[in-house]
């Protein structure tokens, strides 16, 4: 009898999901399949389907009735308003579950990747460290609708569910502009090119508040752990690096990594002040033979979003620790490592 676990990663080309696919495929006794609308060239372990096409999705899953676990990492397109499309996100998940129950007789677990917006971190100050059973904020929030749906749908079924709640997932992902490290690196490079200090553009309160992030590799480790841990059935877990930092402490370290002069707190909208800086970036790009244009390296609205949080942004990892998860990441070392990796990939210039 073949005991190989077959796991489907839905939305597998995304920032978080790609690391889950990578780590899972490195484990013996496991097969990980990707699912997205377009199959990456050269990857045979892939299903192609549109989450808004129920018939096509059902047919695609029927090709692999041996799938027993699903990681759902898709979401409807959104901007930086913080409020995401509830009906669209719920519809895609419902279509997937309908197709899975119709086509996958071995279905055992469905995992949803959510995030710290569950606690209203995109709205304003909230209780920290946030715990998984904290009260919900005023909706809309598609995480609520998805978790309520999956919990209700699971009642009386043989399969179980879980959700993870990371906070600002960071990874080395060339071409994904909505990325904290590459955006910070582009800003630093432009400051250096213009011979101006590396000023902190966030709010004064952001400068001193406690913040946290989630390394994509740690999130992948945590999600794969949840899939195989019985104590995680029908529960949600925060999944962050396990430490915290203040920008006022980290900023000079980042300036050193980027080869810049640290500046002062000078609150300004990056979406406004970085407009028209493409020519500056092209000078830098030509000198160092960098791979990508500015709009594929930095997202200034995203920069404004995470620099605008002038309150603590912090989740408790107690529930995961009590359930047996021991993973952690040194955030300072993660920043340094990802900056170096972006340089090695020819995305950011040398210091």
Per-residue model confidence (pLDDT) at position 78: 72
Per-residue model confidence (pLDDT) at position 42: 87
pLDDT in tens, 10-64: 999 988 899 999 999 999 999 999 999 998 988 999 999 999 999 999 999 999 9
Per-residue model confidence (pLDDT) at position 254: 98
Per-residue model confidence (pLDDT) at position 319: 98
Per-residue model confidence (pLDDT) at position 82: 65
Angle formed at CA 149 by CA 147 and CA 153, multiple of 5 degrees:
120
- Helices and strands (H, E) in the chain, number of each type: 13, 13
Single out the residue of 80, 69, 60 nearest to residue 24, CA to CA.
69
- Give the mean pLDDT of the chain: 96
Distances (CA, A) of 172 to 197, 293, 348: 25, 17, 11
Whole-model pTM: value is 0.96
Per-residue model confidence (pLDDT) at position 2: 56
Q: Please state, in angstroms and rounded to a whole number, the distance separating the CA atoms of residues 298 and 195.
A: 20
> What domains can be seen in the chain, in order of their start residue?
5-166+215-238 (3.40.50.720), 170-212+244-315+329-344 (3.40.50.720)
Q: Enumerate residue ranges in the chain where pLDDT < 70.
A: 1-2, 79-82
Neighbour tally for 105: CB within 10 Å: 10
Per-residue model confidence (pLDDT) at position 21: 96
DSSP H helical segments within the chain, as ranges?
Answer: 15-25, 54-62, 86-103, 142-154, 180-193, 204-208, 216-228, 247-258, 270-273, 278-288, 300-307, 318-323, 331-344
């Amino acid at each position: 009898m073949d005991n190989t676990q077959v796991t489907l990663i839905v939305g597998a080309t995304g920032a978080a999901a790609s690391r889950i696919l990578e780590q899972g495929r490195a484990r013996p006794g496991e097969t990980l399949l990707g699912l997205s609308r377009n199959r990456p060239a050269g990857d045979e372990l892939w299903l192609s389907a549109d989450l808004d096409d129920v018939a096509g999705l059902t047919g695609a899953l029927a090709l692999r009735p041996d799938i027993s676990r699903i990681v759902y990492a898709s979401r409807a397109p959104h901007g930086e308003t913080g409020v995401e499309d509830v009906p669209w996100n719920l519809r895609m998940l419902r279509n997937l579950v309908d197709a899975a129950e119709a086509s996958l007789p071995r279905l055992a677990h469905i995992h949803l990747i959510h995030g710290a917006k569950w606690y209203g971190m995109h709205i304003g100050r909230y209780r920290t460290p946030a715990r998984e059973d904290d009260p919900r904020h005023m909706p809309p929030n598609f995480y609520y609708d998805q978790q309520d749906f999956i919990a209700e749908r699971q009642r009386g079924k043989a399969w179980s569910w879980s959700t993870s709640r990371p906070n600002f997932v960071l990874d080395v992902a060339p071409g994904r502009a909505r990325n904290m490290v590459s955006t910070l690196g582009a800003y630093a490079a432009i400051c250096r090119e213009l011979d101006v200090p590396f000023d902190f553009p966030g709010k004064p309160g952001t400068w001193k508040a406690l913040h946290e992030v989630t390394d994509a590799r740690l999130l992948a480790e945590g999600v794969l752990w949840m899939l195989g841990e019985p104590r995680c059935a029908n529960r949600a877990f925060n999944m962050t690096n396990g430490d915290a930092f203040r920008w006022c402490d980290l900023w000079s370290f980042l300036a050193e990594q980027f080869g810049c002069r640290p500046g002062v707190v000078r609150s300004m909208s990056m979406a406004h002040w970085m407009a028209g800086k493409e020519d500056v970036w092209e000078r830098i790009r030509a000198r160092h033979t960098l791979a990508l244009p500015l709009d594929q390296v930095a997202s200034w609205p995203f920069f404004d979003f995470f620099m605008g949080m002038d309150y603590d942004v912090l989740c408790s990892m107690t529930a995961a620790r009590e359930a047996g998860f021991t993973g952690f990441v040194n955030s300072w070392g993660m920043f340094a490592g990802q900056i170096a990796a972006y340089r090695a990939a020819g995305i950011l210039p040398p210091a």
